[in-house]
Amino acid sequence: MQRLVIEGERRLSGEITVHGAKNSALPLLAACVLSRGETSLHNCPKLSDVYAACRILSRLGCKCERNGGSVTVNTDGLTHFDVPDELMREMRSSIVFLGAILGRLGKCRLSFPGGCELGPRPIDMHIAALRQMGASIREEHGTLDCDVGRGLRGAKIALSFPSVGATENIILAAATAKGQTVIHNAAREPEICDLARFLNKCGAKISGFGETTVVIDGVERLHGCEYEVCPDRIVAATYLSAAAITGGELTLLGARACDIETVIPVFEQMGCTVCLYDSKIYISARRGLKAVKTIRTMPYPGFPTDAQAVVMAALTKARGTSIIIENIFSNRFRHVDELVRMGADIKTEGKVAVVDGVKRLSGACVKACDLRGGAALVVAGLGAEGITEVGDIKYIDRGYESIETAFSSVGGIIKRV
Ligand code: EPZ
């Protein structure tokens, strides 16, 4: 079992590149199923979740090749409509293939994605919306058997919660459905905009994305295209947290500041200096950190739930008491116990975490329980006295391209053993 060994309290400094967004690359790879011929996704991150998505594409009969930072998909050989259980279990978000496979082939069989480390991950909104568009979906023996009969048709869909995955699945199913689909209370994440822009480049007619009402006018068919995946805003927040906790200064290359407009002020409240440029972010944390009043995770453009753990790690050494309220997932404080093992003073009650800053964290043996929680342990290890060993780093590899190489390149002492 691989683990990361970190020698903390090294001030990070220098330039660090933010790689392509996992949560954009995954729906974009699913969207390739809808487009005929060849598609190339550039700035596609080298992550285990991306490889899992490519395995699903290959299983469906597509040709999927990585060359450097790009992935090329050719769907001319697309024949299968089923995603086997072992592939579904590898990556919960493979549910986003449902809308694309239905849109292209008219039927789809995949196993229920089930819960994950963050708590139950229901897909009731996905299923209700696709049924509204004419799909018949049978759930039995842990499998979803879906068929569109005479074809998907546009519908007016109001989401009770701006679910990212449900919004993506509806957009994918609606792109080539008959008629117009309107999504009310749609998710507004930058990754949704990436998906809509990609599909429009393939010939789709989608408007309003990034706002709460998205309109999709179905078209006959979609062709391939070339597209550049947007930078990963959560990886950017992770690097900012590492600069903050080590009292360092970093320039994040390729970062899109507009995607993390509710995260930047938190670092400024901590006492960091942050300068924003077109495609880079500079942060300096020369002085000690101050606690921040209250952070509430909310759907975009609110503070992103995916940044909660890594920002909490930075706050463990901030003078004063910070309050973090996790409103999106029911089990997203699993990194807290591990941070406490490192000397952090954090108490949680339901969806509230109270972080009392401590002078020093001490290196310890800790375990990643989920992707962002694992990244938070790396951030804490970089700011802790002595050696920290982080186990179960397979979770971290799902969303970070060689996190040890990234931090070593700016002065961190971290290696994979
Ligand atoms: C996406 O997950 C991201 N994953 C998550 O990132 C991210 O945390 C989340 O959006 C919120 O921003 C990908 O994009 C691959 P949701 P998703 O549907 O689509 C409830 C990471 O670390 N819900 O917006 O699954 C759900 O239980 C990952 O990169 C329903 O109740 O998130 C949750 O409480 C973790 N019924 C809330 O909505 C549904 O049908 C938000 O879920 C769907 C969702």
* Structure tokens, 4: 């990361």
C-alpha separations of 156 from 136, 169, 199, 219 in Å? 17, 14, 20, 17
H or E segment and range at residue 172: helix 164-174
Hey, which of 97, 123, 161 would you mutate to test ligand 1's pocket, going by the most ligand atoms within 8 Å of its Cβ? 161
What single string gives the DSSP state of each residue in 245-307? HHT-EEEEET--GGGGTTTHHHHHHTT-EEEE-SSEEEEE--SPPB--SEEEB-STTSB-GGG
Residue 126 CA, closest ligand 1 atom number: 40
Pick the residue whose CA is nearest to atom 44 on ligand 1.
163
Establish whether 116 is a catalytic residue.
yes
Are 183 and 216 contained in the same domain?
A: yes
Ligand 1 neighbourhood includes 335 CB (under 6 angstroms)? no
Are 383 and 286 contained in the same domain?
A: yes
Residue 234 CA, closest ligand 1 atom number: 29
Per annotation, catalytic residue among 108, 116, 193, 258: 116
Please tell me the distance between residue 384's alpha carbon and the centre of ligand 1 in angstroms: 31
- Cβ 282 vs Cβ 306: under 8 Å: no
Are 205 and 261 contained in the same domain?
A: no
Any idea what the CATH number is for the domain that residue 32 is in?
3.65.10.10
**Residue that the structure tokens 């060849």 belong to:** 38
Ligand 1 neighbourhood includes 115 CB (under 6 angstroms)? no
Pick the residue whose CA is nearest to atom 16 on ligand 1.
163
* Structure tokens, 265: 């002020």
- pLDDT one digit per residue (tens) for the chain, 417 residues: 899 999 999 999 999 999 999 999 999 999 999 999 999 999 999 999 999 999 999 999 999 999 999 999 999 999 999 998 888 888 878 899 999 999 999 999 998 886 677 777 789 999 999 999 999 999 988 899 999 999 999 999 999 999 999 999 999 999 999 999 999 999 999 999 999 999 999 999 999 999 999 999 999 999 999 999 999 999 999 999 999 999 999 999 999 999 999 999 999 999 999 999 989 999 999 889 999 999 999 999 999 999 999 999 999 999 999 999 999 999 999 999 999 999 999 999 999 999 999 999 999 999 999 999 999 999 999 999 999 999 999 999 999 999 999 999 999 999 999
Ligand 1 neighbourhood includes 163 CB (under 6 angstroms)? yes
Pick the residue whose CA is nearest to atom 6 on ligand 1.
306
Ligand 1 neighbourhood includes 165 CB (under 6 angstroms)? yes
Are 341 and 356 contained in the same domain?
A: yes
* Structure tokens, 412: 């961190």
Ligand 1 neighbourhood includes 328 CB (under 6 angstroms)? yes
* 3-state secondary structure (DSSP) of residue 15: strand
User: Which among 201, 228, 255 is the end of a domain?
Assistant: 228
What single string gives the DSSP state of each residue in 30-81? HHGGGEESEEEEES----HHHHHHHHHHHHHT-EEEEETTEEEEE-TT----
Ligand 1 neighbourhood includes 123 CB (under 6 angstroms)? yes
Are 167 and 202 contained in the same domain?
A: yes
Please tell me the distance between residue 124's alpha carbon and the centre of ligand 1 in angstroms: 12
Q: What is the pLDDT of residue 351?
A: 97
Are 191 and 273 contained in the same domain?
A: no
Pick the residue whose CA is nearest to atom 32 on ligand 1.
164
Please tell me the distance between residue 324's alpha carbon and the centre of ligand 1 in angstroms: 19
Are 256 and 187 contained in the same domain?
A: no
Are 113 and 138 contained in the same domain?
A: yes
Please tell me the distance between residue 160's alpha carbon and the centre of ligand 1 in angstroms: 13
Ligand 1 neighbourhood includes 277 CB (under 6 angstroms)? no
Ligand 1 neighbourhood includes 377 CB (under 6 angstroms)? no
Are 102 and 120 contained in the same domain?
A: yes
Ligand 1 neighbourhood includes 306 CB (under 6 angstroms)? yes
Q: Can you give the residue range of the structural domain that contains 49? A: 22-228
Are 334 and 203 contained in the same domain?
A: no
User: Which among 209, 228, 247 is the end of a domain?
Assistant: 228
Are 144 and 208 contained in the same domain?
A: yes
The pTM (predicted TM-score) of the whole model is 0.98
Residue 189 CA, closest ligand 1 atom number: 12
Ligand 1 neighbourhood includes 94 CB (under 6 angstroms)? no
Ligand 1 neighbourhood includes 155 CB (under 6 angstroms)? no
Hey, which of 90, 164, 260 would you mutate to test ligand 1's pocket, going by the most ligand atoms within 8 Å of its Cβ? 164
The sign of the torsion formed by the CA atoms of 166, 172, 39, 257 equals negative
Pick the residue whose CA is nearest to atom 10 on ligand 1.
164
Are 164 and 306 contained in the same domain?
A: no
User: Which among 211, 228, 245 is the end of a domain?
Assistant: 228
Please tell me the distance between residue 163's alpha carbon and the centre of ligand 1 in angstroms: 6
Provide the number of structural domains found in the chain: 2
Q: What is the pLDDT of residue 115?
A: 66
- Cβ 74 vs Cβ 37: under 8 Å: yes
